[in-house]
């Protein structure tokens, strides 16, 4: 309990000190707010604030673990009855989180152990314990520069390859934030998009991810299509052909072999060997490749589509009543700030070692801070590299000395105790 009280105090101190720096979302008065307190993981919803000062005073007086505001606009945001809120439209929300897709580094820093026996492992927990065959696991999801870099590249790809060129969205209509934990959020504030229904948003999601693509419409169902002409199209056919060319021109053969052997591409060793030996002519001679018939070609295209499509949390974008983390608030699982960014800032942004103090989400960092003692309560804590320094790994009951910003992170993760 003292750990929670401590975190509440330092979150409160942050909101007091930075209350004038917390940004205001557009159309502030028409949005619903939600808060998750420290003492119970139940969201307090249907809050509304007429004045920004009332919102900031709420953060100070009742410092929450998590803070959210709606992408939706309402006439009466505080009404607890969703049908009586007076729906006015909803911004298009996109959540990119490394929880939702595989990154190789998860095998290094994500851990699990069986609650029934002493078996443990890295990466995602198995369906059942390989030792006792039970399925009760404790898992630890961690972060590192590698997986956060992958998430950043995903949102850059989303904006630069889809949102701006294909939908004509202007940069001033994009609100990008680092979530404060394992990914990024994008809120598109566009009047036409606000009017879309859930089913219409689902169609946009399908386009962004590449789901339900029609090869017939794209002209990719016929192996005798002139692919050089298809590349000139401004649609998915261009994206697919460009991706194939990029892979063949920029990836080493050993990497391509490992990639193309994945089941999603459906290629056997003979076809892979032909492709690697005929990279320059591959796109012009598809129908001459032995074994690469229409069915295999479509499977191969599906594999390429999975490489090209954006890896987003689909329900977030389809839901017209979704709440999203409030920019400038603190994330209760890390102690990091939900950091608002423009596109230029995003390109070189490194949340675990950001040089620009104005956008550094690790707000509890101080170069001159003293170390304090803590006790490890979790069976094992993965290593954490932050601000260029690595801390851990640690084991249960170990007494460790930590600087403030690392201690806050581990306290938020509930893996250490204050001594």
Query: What are the tens digits of pLDDT across the range 38-74?
Result: 998 899 999 999 999 999 999 999 999 999 999 999 9
Q: What is the pLDDT of residues 84-104, one digit of tens each?
A: 999 999 999 999 999 888 888
Average pLDDT, the chain: 93
Residue 232's pLDDT band (boundaries 50, 70, 90)?
confident
Query: What's domain 2-99+167-205+313-359's architecture?
Result: Alpha-Beta Complex (3.90)
Question: What is the percentage of the chain residues whose pLDDT exceeds 70?
Answer: 97
Residue 241: pLDDT band (50, 70, 90) is confident
Per domain, the residue ranges of the chain are 2-99+167-205+313-359, 106-140, 213-308, 372-418
pLDDT score recorded for residue 287: 60
Res. 225: pLDDT tops 90: no
Domain 372-418: which CATH number of 1.10.3470, 3.40.5, 3.30.360, 3.40.50: 3.40.5
**pLDDT for 224 beyond 70:** no
Query: How do beta strands 389-391 and 384-386 pair?
Result: antiparallel
Question: Which band of pLDDT confidence, cut at 50, 70 and 90, is reported for residue 342?
Answer: very high
What confidence tens digit (pLDDT) does each residue in 343-373 have? 999 999 999 999 999 999 999 999 888 899 9
Identify which of 302, 303, 301, 273 has the alpha carbon closest to the alpha carbon of residue 289: 273
> What is the tens place of the pLDDT at every residue in 104-152?
899 889 998 898 987 888 888 888 999 999 999 988 889 999 999 999 9
Instruction: Give the residue-averaged pLDDT of 390-394.
Output: 96
For the cut 80, the answer to whether the pLDDT of residue 251 exceeds it is yes
Instruction: Give pLDDT, residue 160.
Output: 95
Strand ranges inside 152-236, DSSP E: 174-178, 183-188
In 3D space, the residue among 209, 105, 150, 208 whose CA is nearest the CA of residue 350 turns out to be 150
Distance of CA 295 to the CA centre of its chain: 33
Quote the pTM value: 0.92
Question: Which of the pair, 396 or 228, is modelled with greater confidence?
Answer: 396
Q: What pLDDT, on the 0 to 100 scale, is given for residue 294?
A: 80
CA atoms within 13 A on the CB side of 365: 21
């Amino acid at each position: 309990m003292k750990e929670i009280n401590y975190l509440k105090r330092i979150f409160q101190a942050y909101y007091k000190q930075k209350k004038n720096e917390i940004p205001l979302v557009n159309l502030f008065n028409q949005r619903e707010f939600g808060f998750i307190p420290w003492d119970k993981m139940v969201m307090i919803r249907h809050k509304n604030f007429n004045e920004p000062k009332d919102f900031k005073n709420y953060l100070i007086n009742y410092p929450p673990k998590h803070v959210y505001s709606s992408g939706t606009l309402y006439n009466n945001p505080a009404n607890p009855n969703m049908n009586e809120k007076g729906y006015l439209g909803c911004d298009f929300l996109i959540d990119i989180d490394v929880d939702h897709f595989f990154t190789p580094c998860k095998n290094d820093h994500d851990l699990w152990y069986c609650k029934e026996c002493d078996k443990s492992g890295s990466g995602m927990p198995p369906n059942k314990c390989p030792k006792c065959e039970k399925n009760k696991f404790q898992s630890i999801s961690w972060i590192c520069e590698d997986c956060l870099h992958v998430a950043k590249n995903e949102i850059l790809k989303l904006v630069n390859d889809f949102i701006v060129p294909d939908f004509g969205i202007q940069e001033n209509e994009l609100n990008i934030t680092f979530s404060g934990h394992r990914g990024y959020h994008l809120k598109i504030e566009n009047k036409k998009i606000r009017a879309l229904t859930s089913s219409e948003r689902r169609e946009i999601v399908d386009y962004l991810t590449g789901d339900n693509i029609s090869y017939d419409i794209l002209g990719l169902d016929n192996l005798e299509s002139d692919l050089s002409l298809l590349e000139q199209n401004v649609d998915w056919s261009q994206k697919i052909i460009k991706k194939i060319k990029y892979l063949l021109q920029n990836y080493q053969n050993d990497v391509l072999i490992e990639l193309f052997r994945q089941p999603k591409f459906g290629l056997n060793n003979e076809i892979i060997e032909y492709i690697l030996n005929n990279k320059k002519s591959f796109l012009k001679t598809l129908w001459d490749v032995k074994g690469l018939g229409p069915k295999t070609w479509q499977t191969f295209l599906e594999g390429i589509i999975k490489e090209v499509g954006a890896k987003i949390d689909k329900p977030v974008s389809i839901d017209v009543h979704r709440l999203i983390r409030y920019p400038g608030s603190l994330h209760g699982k890390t102690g990091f700030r939900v950091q608002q960014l423009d596109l230029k800032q995003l390109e070189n942004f490194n949340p675990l070692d950001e040089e620009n103090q104005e956008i550094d989400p690790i707000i509890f960092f101080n170069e001159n801070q003293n170390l304090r003692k803590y006790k490890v309560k979790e069976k094992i804590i993965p290593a954490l590299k932050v601000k260029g320094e690595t801390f851990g790994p640690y084991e249960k009951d170990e007494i460790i000395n930590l600087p403030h910003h690392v201690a806050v992170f581990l306290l938020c993760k509930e893996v250490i105790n204050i001594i």
